[in-house]
């Protein structure tokens, strides 16, 4: 008999969290190990009635009033400490249900603690600003300032590819601002969200300020959209689903981090010793399942062959396979179906004339790190988000044309440029229509303190605790007229 992939003592509650209690329901859905395909757990699917109860309970908690800012900060700091004490449990959950390698899972835990502490900082320094009424003739004696108040119930709908830290980029700033949260984790990765719920309650978050509902977007997600007491929706996922949420939200506020085709440009003067490992890791880590993963890689013609060779050599050092093996650097995709899709796109590109420089092979849900050159401009590996360990390399001679090509997608989340030329760097910053433009970094470099969000079909609004807390508050102007 095989040992359980997650031992019983490490498994979180598998119900719906409402008012500090985990509630069962008749229907259950399986959680599978993304590498072995074996069942890991069964989770109760939240019922329609439980969704309504979750929103009603959190709404009542907000109406009664949030704890003082210093108390909210203390909860978030204590949660960071508790996550460290349960690190092994979080890692086991993410390796199993998300397919993360040990390195990626531990990195997720490290970043989660940073996000919690940053959010705690914001809880105690969330203030408004003075209004300079003296600038208006006749109003110089007035005193005006703004204050910020919580919006109410925040509904967080979160993705499988960052089941802890992205969740905390929504939950922690929301609570720091005094809001209550209804969290719906991805149905692929419900256990990590449940573990986080246990930690937040243990850290002292008032039970009414957190609910966790589990299930698919077509059912539970749709029911959440129908609940009018939700004041704010924060979502990370596909542009298609983002449009559905935005339409349902109406005049209610939202923050959307949606689809992407991320580009990175490597100019002739780039420092390749720095650039190559950054590009390879940014395109292939987490099996390429990161919204900012380098997919389009533009390389100046004069160094294109050298860059291609170096990337192939580096990719050969990234072992793909069992995420529980400490030597593994590229684990499985979220499902075998996703891997089959990505494999088909690669085969389609090669059939249309692209060169397969390395990789391309699939073993169940694992795809080897893959580098393709000269992909056709209308092929799916170039024109659609791959969400797989795939780099599509294309040479360029004209920097302006490369910038225009990078801009020529419906998306605009993040881009990177490697160059030593300050004029070229500034031109890229002015020209690339992306939420983030990184110089001498890839599209996929992110610090949790920074503002993060996209433009165009990549969405709007910002993550990053200092920015998210302001999105999740209402600004009120107060004027004294002596």
Catalytic residues: 257, 291
CB atoms within 10 A of CB 271: 12
CA distance 258 to 196: 23
CA distance 178 to 127: 13
CA distance 202 to 209: 13
Closest CA to 461 of 473, 476, 445, 446: 473
CA distance 105 to 324: 10
CB atoms within 10 A of CB 325: 13
Is the distance from CB of 186 to CB of 238 less than 8 angstroms?
Answer: no
Question: Counting beta carbons within 10 angstroms of the beta carbon of residue 378, is it exposed (0 to 12), middle (13 to 18) or buried (19 or more)?
Answer: exposed
Task: Please give the structure tokens belonging to residue 429.
Answer: 């910053």
Task: Please give the structure tokens belonging to residue 393.
Answer: 């390399």
CA distance 94 to 431: 38
Is the distance from CB of 153 to CB of 182 less than 8 angstroms?
Answer: yes
CA distance 97 to 415: 29
Q: How far is CA 236 from the centre of its chain?
A: 6
∠ CA(61), CA(68), CA(144), 5° rounding?
105
Closest CA to 38 of 71, 5, 84: 5
């Amino acid at each position: 008999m095989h040992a359980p992939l997650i031992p019983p003592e490490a498994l979180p509650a598998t119900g719906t969290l409402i008012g500090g209690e985990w509630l069962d329901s008749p229907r259950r859905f399986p959680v599978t190990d993304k590498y072995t395909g074996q069942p890991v757990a069964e989770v109760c699917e939240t019922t329609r009635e439980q969704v309504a109860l979750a929103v009603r309970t959190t709404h009542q908690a907000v109406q009664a009033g949030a704890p003082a800012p210093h108390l909210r900060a203390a909860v978030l700091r204590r949660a960071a400490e508790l996550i460290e004490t349960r690190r092994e449990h979080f890692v086991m959950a993410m390796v199993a249900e998300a397919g993360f390698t040990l390195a990626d899972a531990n990195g997720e835990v490290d970043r989660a603690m940073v996000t919690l502490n940053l959010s705690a900082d914001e809880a105690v320094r969330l203030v408004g600003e003075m209004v300079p009424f003296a600038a208006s003739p006749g109003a110089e004696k007035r005193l005006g300032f703004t204050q910020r108040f919580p919006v109410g119930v925040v509904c967080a709908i979160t993705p499988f590819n960052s089941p802890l830290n992205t969740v905390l980029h929504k939950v922690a700033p929301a609570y720091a601002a005094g809001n209550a949260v209804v969290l719906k984790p991805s149905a692929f990765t419900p256990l990590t969200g449940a573990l986080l719920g246990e930690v937040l309650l243990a850290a002292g978050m008032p039970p009414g300020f957190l609910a966790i509902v589990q299930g698919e977007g077509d059912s539970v997600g749709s029911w959440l959209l129908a609940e009018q007491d939700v004041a704010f929706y924060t979502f990370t996922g596909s542009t298609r689903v983002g449009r559905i949420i935005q339409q349902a939200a109406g005049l209610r506020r939202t923050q959307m981090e949606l689809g992407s085709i991320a580009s990175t440009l490597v100019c002739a003067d780039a420092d390749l010793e720095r650039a190559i490992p950054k590009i390879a890791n940014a395109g292939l880590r987490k099996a390429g399942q990161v919204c900012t993963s380098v997919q389009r890689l533009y390389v100046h013609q004069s160094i294109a062959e050298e860059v291609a060779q170096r990337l192939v050599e580096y990719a050969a050092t990234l072992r793909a396979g069992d995420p529980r093996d400490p030597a593994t650097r590229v684990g499985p995709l979220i499902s075998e179906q996703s891997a089959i899709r990505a494999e088909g796109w690669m085969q389609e590109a090669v059939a249309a004339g692209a060169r397969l420089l390395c990789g391309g092979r699939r073993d169940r849900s694992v795809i080897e790190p893959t580098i393709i050159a000269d992909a056709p401009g209308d092929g799916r590996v170039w024109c659609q988000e791959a969400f797989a360990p795939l780099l599509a390399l294309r040479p360029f001679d004209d920097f302006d044309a490369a910038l225009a090509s990078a801009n020529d997608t419906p998306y605009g989340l993040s881009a990177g440029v490697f160059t030593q030329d300050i004029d070229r760097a500034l031109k890229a910053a002015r020209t690339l229509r992306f939420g983030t433009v990184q110089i001498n970094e890839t599209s996929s470099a992110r610090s949790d303190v920074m503002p993060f969000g996209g433009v165009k079909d990549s969405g709007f609004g910002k993550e990053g605790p200092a920015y998210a807390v302001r999105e999740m508050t209402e600004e009120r102007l107060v004027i004294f007229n002596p």
